[in-house]
Structure 1
Amino acid sequence: MVAPPLDRHHRNAILNSQKAALRQQHQRNPRMQYKDLAKWFEEKFDQKINMSTISRTLSSRYKFLDEMQGQAVSGKRIRAENWPELESALSEWIRRAKNQDLALSQEILRQKARQYWPTIYPGKEIPSFSNGWLERFQSRQEIKIKKQHGDSGDSAEDAGVQLIRIRQILRTFASQDIFSCDETGLFWKMMPERNLATSVIPGRRSEQARISALFCCNSDGSERLPPLFIGTSERPGAFAKANVNIENLGCLWRSNKQAWMTSEIFKEWLLWFDNRMEGRKVVLLIDKLSAHQIAFQKVSMRLKNTLVMLLPSCAETPCEPLEGIVNVWKIYWKREWLRYMNLEFGHGADPSVTMTILMAVRWAITAWNVDLDNETIMQYFSKALDVEAVLKVNHAHLIKDITAGLRHLKQTNRINDIMDINQYLNCPNEKVNDGVIDIDSIVLSQFLSSGDVDEEDDKSNEAIPLISPSEALQSLYTLRLYEEQQNVGDRELIMLLMRYERTVQGRLEQQYQSNGHNFF
C-alpha cells in the first residue's frame, strides 16, 4: 500500500485582517525589510508567509484594506477590486445618499455604476455589473443596503448627549491642543445685486466665479493653519501672469472642476494636519459633512497625533466653533471687496472685470491672519462648547463700514437693485452642505481634469513682469523712508525692512556674479 503523499504545499489562507495588519506594520516601519516583515508576521499570527505574498499584499492591489482600517476588516478572503476608482466613487455616493435619506438598492447601485463609468473610465466598454460583482463590492466596502430614516441630522436630545461627552474629553486637552475646521464657499466676483443671489444671469457668468475655503485654528487663536483654497484650475491665470508661487502666500491650493471639497481632498488634508502635529497629541473637531466622514473613515488608523471628533449636526444646538469664526472672516473679506468695487467704479473701471483670483486669495489670507483677532476665536469656541458661555463679540464697526459702502453704491447708481446687508453677507449658495442636487457632481468632480478650466472668465488682464532686485530695493527704501519720517515710527517694522533689504541685496549680488560682473 502506497502511503499518501505529504501535503508539502498546503498553506493556510491569509485573512484580510492579517493582510491589513501587515500593511499597517509596513506603513509604521517603511524601512523594514521583507524578511523582517515575514518574521514579524510569523510571530504575530503563528503562520508562515513567503516573500511573494508579502510583495503582493503591500502592492496597490490591496490598498482598499487601508481604507477599511477604520472599520472591522472582515476575516474572509475577498478579491481586490478590479475598478478601485469606481468603487471609491460609489462608496462616497452611498454615504452622501444615506445622509440625504435616499432609497438604496442593488439595482440603484448598478445604475449609478453605469452612470459613473464613462466619466471615470472614458472610452472603455461599460461592464454588465453582475450580481456577483455587486455582492463582492458590498462585502469589500462593508455596505449594508437598507432604508435610512432621519440619518441627515441628530435630534436635539442626541446632540446634547454627544456634546456632554465631547466636553468631558476636551477637558483633558490644553486649549492650544483643541482644533476645529470648517469650510465655506465664496463667490469672489459677485456684485451685491439682489437677483444675482438667487439665480444665474445669462452673460454674467463671471459673477458666479466660486472657490471653496477651509479654515482651521486652535481654541485660543495661537495657531492658525494655512487656509486651503479649492478652485477650478491647477494654477489660475492670475497667478501665472503675476509669476506668483501660490505656496509663497501662506496657503494650500487644490482644484477640481466644481471647486468643491471632496473626500479625497479632505483625506489629504487630514494626513497633512496630522503630520504637522508631530510630537503632540491634539483633538480636531469636524462636522458631519459627508466628505469629512468618508475621509476620516479611510485614514482613521493612520492618524498618529490627532483624535478626530465628529460634532453633532443639529439646527437647535449649533456647536461648530469655526462656523461663527468663518462668518466673521467673511465680513472682513466682503468689506474689502466692497471697498474695491467703490474705488474701481470711481476710476471708471468695472470691478467684475479687473478683479482677479489672486486679489481674492490675498484678501482672504490677510483677513484670516491679520484682521481676525484671537478674542473672537476664543469667544466662538467658548460659545460652541460651553453651554453657559455668553458670546461677547462686537463687530458694529465692520457692519457700519459695509452699510456705508452699500449705500454709496446705491447713491451713485452703480447697482440697480442693491442687496441689503444680510443678503450681502449671508449668500445661501456659499454654505457648504450635503445638497441632494450636487451629489453626483461632487463625487465625480475628483475624476475630472481641472487643468483647462480657469478661475478667470476675462482674459484681458496683462501679464505682470517679474520684479527685479533693483526695483524691489528701491521700493523697500521708499517704504522704510516713509516710516522713518513719521512722528512715531514703527521701529520693529523699520528693522524688519532693513533685514529684508539685506536679503534682496544678496540676491542682487548673486545676479551680478552669475552674469560675470563684480557687485562692487
Structure 2
Amino acid sequence: MEHKLVSIREKIDQFPMKDVFNMDETELFYRLQADHSLAIKQLEGRKQDKERLTVVICCNEDGSEKIPLWIIGKYAKPRCFKNVNMNSLDCQYRANKKAWMTSVLFDEYVRSFDQMMHGRRVLLVVDNCPAHPRNIEGLRNVELFFLPPNMTSKIQPCDAGIIRAFKMHYHIRFYRKILEGYEVGQTDPGKINVLDAINLAIPAWTMDVRKETIANCFRHCKIRSASDVVGNLDESTFDEETQDLQTMINQCGYRNKMDIDNLMNYPGENEACSEVQSLEDIVRTIIENNAEDDDKDDTVSLEPVTRKEALMASNTLHNFMIQYKNTTPQLLDAIRKESSIRQRGQIFKSKESISLFGRL
C-alpha cells in the first residue's frame, strides 16, 4: 500500500489544495427512522426505510468548494415535482430504475464538472468503480485520477468522513422535520417524498458540512506528501453533530431506537450503488426517462402557491419572529431585508435569509 501512496502523492502534489477534488456516490435511505421496530415488523405503510436515493458528493481538498449535489432517483418525473421550478434547486436530478450511478451518468457528471471548472486546471480523484469509465474524451479543464482498487475505504476523503458528515446532518434535518410534523398534527410526518428529501439534502451539504470537516478528512487520508498537512482525523470532529442527532432521536420517542452507529451504518445503505450499462440498458433507460412514471410513485404533486399566499405567509413569519424568544437582531434584519426584496417580486432569495432560516 505504501508504494501506491507514493505515486498518489506525486500526482496530488502537482496541484494546489483548492484544485484537488474528490467525488464519490453514496446511497441514502431518505426515509430511514431510528426505530428497530419500523425496520423489523412489516407493518402496512411502514416499509419506508428502504426507499433510497443515490447522492453524488464532490468537494475540494481545502473545503472551500462544495459542488452542488447530483441526486439519482427511481422516477424520472415524480409526481412531487409537478409545479416545481427544478432550476431553482441547487442540485441536479437524474433517474433510472435502480436509482444507481451508471457509466452514462458518470460521463455526464464529469463533463458537467469540466464545464464548471472553466479556465482552471483541476484534478478529480475518483475510485476505481467499473461504472466510472476512464476514456472520457474532450475534457479541457479536468484531469481524472483513479485510485487503486481495494484502497478507497482507506485513502478516499469522501469515505473518510465527508459522506458520514453529510448523512449526519441530513438525518438531523429529517428528524427535525418529523418533530415539526407531529407539532402541526401530521399523521405520518416521516413519510417524505423525493422533493422533501432533496430539500433536506441540499442545506445539509451546502450549509451544514463544515469546511474544516472536509479539510480534516483529506488530511486524514494522507494523500499529500507535505508534512504540514499530514495528520489523523480528530475524533471530536463529529461530536457536536452526533449529540444533535441523538437529541433529535430521543425527542421522537421511539420504543426501540437505534444507536447512532447502527443508524449511520444501516445494513444495505453502504453497498454498491453503481453499475456498468450495456447498450441495451442505455437505450432502455432513455425510453423509461421519456415515458410517464408508473403508479409505484405514491407521492402527490405540490399544490401551487400564489404570490398573495406567499406574502401572507411571509408576514406571518415576521410576526412570529418578533415574538420568538430566541430571535436575534441579525435574524430580524434578514427578514426586514426580505421585505424590500418582496416589493421587487422576489421572495426569500438573499444569502442572509437562506443561511439564517436554515438554522431554525
Q: What is the TM-score when the length of structure 2 is the normalising length?
A: 0.80
CA drift of 1:406 comes to 3.2
Kept in 1: contact 2:123–2:144 (CA 8 A): yes
CA drift of 1:315 comes to 5.2
CA drift of 1:327 comes to 0.9
Q: How big is each residue's C-alpha offset from its partner over 1:360-399, in whole Å with a ceiling of 9 and x where there is no partner?
A: 1011000001111111111111111257412125222222
1:394 alignment counterpart = 237
Kept in 1: contact 2:78–2:297 (CA 8 A): no
CA drift of 1:265 comes to 0.5
SS in 2 for 1:318: helix
1:366 alignment counterpart = 203
CA drift of 1:442 comes to 12
1:471 alignment counterpart = 309
Which of residues 341, 349, 373 is equivalent to 2:178?
Answer: 341
1:220 alignment counterpart = 62
Counting only pairs closer than 5 Å after superposition, residues 179-218 of structure 1 correspond to structure 2 as: 179-194=21-36, 204-218=46-60
1:313 aligns with 2:149: yes
C-alpha RMSD of matched pairs (Å): 3.4
Kept in 1: contact 2:114–2:142 (CA 8 A): yes
1:428 aligns with 2:267: yes
CA drift of 1:318 comes to 0.5
SS in 2 for 1:302: coil
Q: Write the distance in 2 (CA, Å) between the matches of 1:370 and 1:352.
A: 22
Kept in 2: contact 1:262–1:443 (CA 8 A): no
Q: Write the distance in 2 (CA, Å) between the matches of 1:276 and 1:285.
A: 16
Q: Write the distance in 2 (CA, Å) between the matches of 1:490 and 1:202.
A: 43
CA drift of 1:483 comes to 6.5
SS in 2 for 1:338: helix
1:404 aligns with 2:247: yes
CA drift of 1:250 comes to 0.7
Kept in 2: contact 1:230–1:254 (CA 8 A): yes
Which of residues 157, 172, 189 is equivalent to 1:351?
Answer: 189
SS in 2 for 1:504: coil
Kept in 2: contact 1:473–1:504 (CA 8 A): no
SS in 1 for 2:131: helix
CA drift of 1:351 comes to 2.7
CA drift of 1:458 comes to 3.4
2:105 alignment counterpart = 265
SS in 2 for 1:215: strand
1:382 aligns with 2:223: no
Q: Which has the larger radius of gyration?
A: 1
1:511 alignment counterpart = none
* Distance of aligned partners of 1:161 and 1:204 in 2 relative to their CA distance in 1, 3 Å threshold: same
1:500 alignment counterpart = 341
Which of residues 473, 484, 489 is equivalent to 2:330?
Answer: 489
SS in 1 for 2:272: coil
Q: Write the distance in 1 (CA, Å) between the matches of 2:203 and 2:9.
A: 32
Richer in strand (by share)? 2
SS in 2 for 1:394: helix
* Distance of aligned partners of 1:204 and 1:440 in 2 relative to their CA distance in 1, 3 Å threshold: farther
Code of the residue aligned with 1:426 in structure 2: it is: N
Q: Write the distance in 1 (CA, Å) between the matches of 2:215 and 2:38.
A: 35
Kept in 2: contact 1:237–1:456 (CA 8 A): no
Richer in helix (by share)? 1
Q: How big is each residue's C-alpha offset from its partner over 1:146-203, in whole Å with a ceiling of 9 and x where there is no partner?
A: xxxxxxxxxxx3xx32322221222221221111111111111233343766898886
* Distance of aligned partners of 1:501 and 1:344 in 2 relative to their CA distance in 1, 3 Å threshold: closer
Which of residues 164, 178, 181 is equivalent to 2:20?
Answer: 178
Q: Write the distance in 2 (CA, Å) between the matches of 1:289 and 1:442.
A: 19
Q: What is the TM-score when the length of structure 1 is the normalising length?
A: 0.57
Q: Write the distance in 1 (CA, Å) between the matches of 2:67 and 2:304.
A: 31
Structure 2 alignment gaps of length 5 or more: 348-360
Which of residues 279, 290, 314 is equivalent to 2:130?
Answer: 290
* Distance of aligned partners of 1:505 and 1:234 in 2 relative to their CA distance in 1, 3 Å threshold: closer
* Distance of aligned partners of 1:309 and 1:370 in 2 relative to their CA distance in 1, 3 Å threshold: same
Code of the residue aligned with 1:236 in structure 2: it is: P
CA drift of 1:307 comes to 1.1
Q: Write the distance in 2 (CA, Å) between the matches of 1:404 and 1:482.
A: 25
SS in 1 for 2:164: helix
Kept in 2: contact 1:233–1:455 (CA 8 A): no
* Distance of aligned partners of 1:340 and 1:483 in 2 relative to their CA distance in 1, 3 Å threshold: closer
* Distance of aligned partners of 1:216 and 1:497 in 2 relative to their CA distance in 1, 3 Å threshold: same
* Distance of aligned partners of 1:317 and 1:501 in 2 relative to their CA distance in 1, 3 Å threshold: closer
2:3 alignment counterpart = 161
Structure 1 alignment gaps of length 5 or more: 1-156, 507-520
* Distance of aligned partners of 1:454 and 1:269 in 2 relative to their CA distance in 1, 3 Å threshold: farther
Q: How big is each residue's C-alpha offset from its partner over 1:293-312, in whole Å with a ceiling of 9 and x where there is no partner?
A: x2x32x1x311111111112
Kept in 2: contact 1:473–1:505 (CA 8 A): no
Q: Write the distance in 2 (CA, Å) between the matches of 1:345 and 1:483.
A: 21
CA drift of 1:225 comes to 1.2
1:303 aligns with 2:303: no
Kept in 2: contact 1:175–1:220 (CA 8 A): yes
CA drift of 1:467 comes to 2.5
Q: Write the distance in 1 (CA, Å) between the matches of 2:186 and 2:148.
A: 50
Code of the residue aligned with 2:102 in structure 1: it is: T
Q: Write the distance in 2 (CA, Å) between the matches of 1:177 and 1:419.
A: 39
Kept in 2: contact 1:333–1:364 (CA 8 A): yes
CA drift of 1:257 comes to 0.8
Counting only pairs closer than 5 Å after superposition, residues 16-95 of structure 1 correspond to structure 2 as: none
Give the number of equivalent residue pairs.
333
CA drift of 1:314 comes to 3.1
